[in-house]
């Protein structure tokens, strides 16, 4: 056991002294945070302040346009030509021209003149409001009561509520897209660290350093030392990246989303007050929050995620999945002399991981399907698929069964990989085949 510890220490030390490894450990959180910051910044840029001067030759629309926090409207009686000439000198960002007879045409037309491009968000928002005004105008022109039509439109919100086997309600924490992202991260980490073991074994074999090492260490001990060493390194790197990412995203959230978080708190309080009073209100029609309700619902789901459970299971499945696949990778690395020869062996190992990744996409649309269930139990795919559905109130017995099978399978694959490793690590100059590897399993 002391020899395995020495090999683990050597593996960890060699990677920690690698500048590329250290740089990527610190750079990855910066890239993740920068990507999130870019998304937030882009979404904020979509809602830049717009001051719109309206020239309405239809004489029925301008006074019905309603502004909001980032858009204001002002009406002008000028002719379009005159307004265009003086537009650059005025404190407006856009000039909106509404053609005459817009209510009588099959397809209404308006034209926007601008100093700087107003962006698609503004155009879509303006388009929706104009269509609503024109729609109501046409109804009135045909003596149809707009209120009757509007009251006939009923918004239906589907509320999902899970009931356990004892008949008790459970909070619906299903957030499929987040689960899919976590599953994708698991796929990436298992593959990355598994390939790290593969390259380490193959490099030592190619450089013939292993001949010196196995003179004092059993091949099986050498393989375990490498696997456990990279496992410790992976958990250490994951923890460092997680802490740095958490700190950076917290700072980012405080800096960029302070107002949004304040509005979310007010929205939550208003929801609780309305529900307490027993009033049935469509929150999507509330004036203060009408354009942010969907964002708030996503934020509510994120805040409802069981972060400790997520982190604990992620580490358990990462370690289990890594140990399971890295033992196979180590065996393959010992069996080949070059990376080009390894393709025929790496591909069959990659296929179950890819299948798990594709099954994980199913959790977005149907998280309780049989293929998702079995994908989260079978060790070849369980680290990816189970992590994609872990936030969906997954029963504890399923998680326990999945983890149990995964770690038992690791012991079995390590036993088989050890038989391949002890022969393959000292085999040079011979083209390896699946038939040859099969024979190595029965060598004594």
Looking at the fold, whether 359 and 403 belong to one and the same domain comes out as yes
Does a structural domain hold residue 158? no
What's the CA gap between 164 and 116, in Å, rounded?
A: 55
Examine the domain organization and report whether 132 and 256 are in the same domain. no
7, part of any domain: no
Residues 328-349 as b/e (b if ≥16 CB within 10 A, e otherwise) read: bbbbbbbbbbeeeebeebbeeb
Residues 292-347 pLDDT 10s: 555 555 555 556 566 777 788 888 898 889 889 988 888 888 777 776 677 778 88
Spell out the residues 6+ positions from residue 367 whose beta carbon is closer than 8 angstroms to its own.
Answer: 174, 176, 179, 389, 392
- The answer on 211 and 96 residing in a single domain is no
Of 96, 117, 152, the residue that ends a domain is: 152
Q: How far apart are CA 155 and CA 98, in angstroms?
A: 31
Task: Indicate whether 201 and 253 sit together in one domain.
Answer: yes
- Cβ atoms of residues 418 and 219 within 8 Å: yes
225 and 351 together in one domain: yes
Asked whether the beta carbons of 97 and 55 are under 8 A apart, the reply is yes
Q: Are residues 209 and 98 in the same domain?
A: no
Say if residue 179 is in the same domain as residue 104.
Answer: no
Those residues of the chain that have pLDDT short of 50 are: 173, 284-287, 290
* Residue appearing with tokens 């920068």: 34
Residues 114 and 186 in one domain: no
For 186, 308, 338, 340, 348, the CA distances from 344, given in Å and listed in that order, are: 24, 40, 12, 9, 7
Token look-up 């104009």 returns 130
DSSP string, 255-269: HHSHHHHHHHHHHHH
Residue 289 included in any domain: yes
Q: Which pLDDT score is estimated for 402?
A: 92
Q: State pTM to two decimals.
A: 0.66
Q: How far apart are CA 166 and CA 152, in angstroms?
A: 40
CATH number of the domain that residue 64 is part of: 3.40.190.10
Are 101 and 222 in a shared domain? Answer: no
Within a domain: residue 145? yes
161 within a domain of the structure (yes/no): no
Domain final residue pick, 117, 152, 187: 152
Which pLDDT belongs to residue 408? 92
241-271: pLDDT as tens digits: 878 887 887 777 676 665 555 665 666 666 6
Is the Cβ–Cβ distance between 231 and 319 less than 8 Å? yes
> Does 162 fall in a domain?
no
Kindly state whether residues 207 and 346 are assigned to the same domain. Answer: yes
In a domain, 274, yes or no: yes
CB within 8 Å of 24: residues ≥ 6 apart: none
Last residue of a domain, one of 102, 120, 152: 152
The answer on 213 and 146 residing in a single domain is no
The reply to whether 66 and 106 lie within a common domain is yes
Q: Is 23 among the domain residues? A: no
The total of structural domains in the chain comes to: 2
Q: Which domain holds residue 64?
A: 49-152
């Amino acid at each position: 056991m002391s020899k395995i510890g020495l090999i683990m220490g050597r593996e960890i030390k060699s990677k920690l002294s690698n500048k590329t490894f250290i740089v990527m450990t610190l750079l990855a959180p910066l890239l993740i945070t920068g990507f999130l910051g870019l998304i937030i910044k882009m979404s904020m840029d979509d809602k830049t302040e717009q001051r719109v001067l309206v020239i309405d030759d239809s004489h029925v629309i301008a006074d019905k346009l309603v502004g909001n926090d980032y858009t204001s409207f002002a009406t002008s009686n000028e002719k379009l030509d005159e307004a265009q000439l003086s537009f650059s000198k005025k404190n407006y960002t856009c000039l909106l021209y509404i053609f005459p007879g817009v209510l009588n045409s099959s397809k209404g037309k308006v034209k926007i003149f601008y100093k700087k491009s107003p962006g698609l968000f503004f155009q879509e928002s303006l388009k929706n409001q104009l269509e609503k005004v024109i729609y109501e105008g046409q109804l009135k022109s045909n003596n149809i009561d707009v209120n009757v039509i509007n009251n006939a439109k009923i918004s239906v919100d589907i509320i999902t509520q899970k009931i356990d086997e004892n008949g008790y309600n459970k909070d619906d924490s299903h957030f499929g897209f987040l689960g899919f992202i976590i599953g994708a991260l698991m796929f990436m980490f298992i593959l990355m660290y598994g390939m790290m073991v593969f390259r380490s074994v193959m490099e030592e074999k190619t450089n013939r350093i292993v001949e010196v090492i196995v003179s004092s260490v059993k091949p099986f001990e050498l393989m375990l030392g490498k696997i456990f060493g990279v496992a410790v390194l992976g958990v250490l790197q994951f923890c460092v990246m997680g802490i740095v990412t958490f700190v950076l995203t917290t700072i980012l959230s405080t800096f960029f989303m302070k107002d949004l978080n304040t509005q979310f708190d007010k929205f939550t309080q208003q929801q609780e007050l309305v529900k307490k009073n027993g009033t049935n209100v469509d929150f999507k029609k509330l004036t203060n929050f009408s354009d942010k309700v969907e964002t708030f619902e996503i934020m509510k789901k994120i805040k409802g995620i069981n972060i400790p459970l997520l982190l604990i299971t992620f580490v358990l499945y990462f370690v289990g999945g890594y140990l399971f696949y890295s033992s196979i990778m180590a065996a393959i690395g010992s069996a080949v002399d070059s990376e080009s020869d390894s393709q025929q062996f790496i591909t069959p190992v990659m296929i179950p991981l890819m299948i798990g990744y594709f099954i994980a996409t199913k959790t977005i649309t149907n998280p309780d399907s049989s293929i998702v269930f079995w994908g989260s139990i079978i060790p070849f795919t369980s680290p990816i698929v189970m992590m994609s559905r872990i936030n969906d109130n997954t029963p504890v017995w399923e998680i326990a069964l999945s983890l149990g099978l995964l770690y038992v399978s690791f012991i079995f694959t390590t036993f088989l990989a050890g038989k391949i490793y002890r022969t393959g690590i000292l085999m040079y100059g011979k083209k390896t085949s699946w038939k040859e590897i099969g024979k190595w399993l029965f060598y004594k």
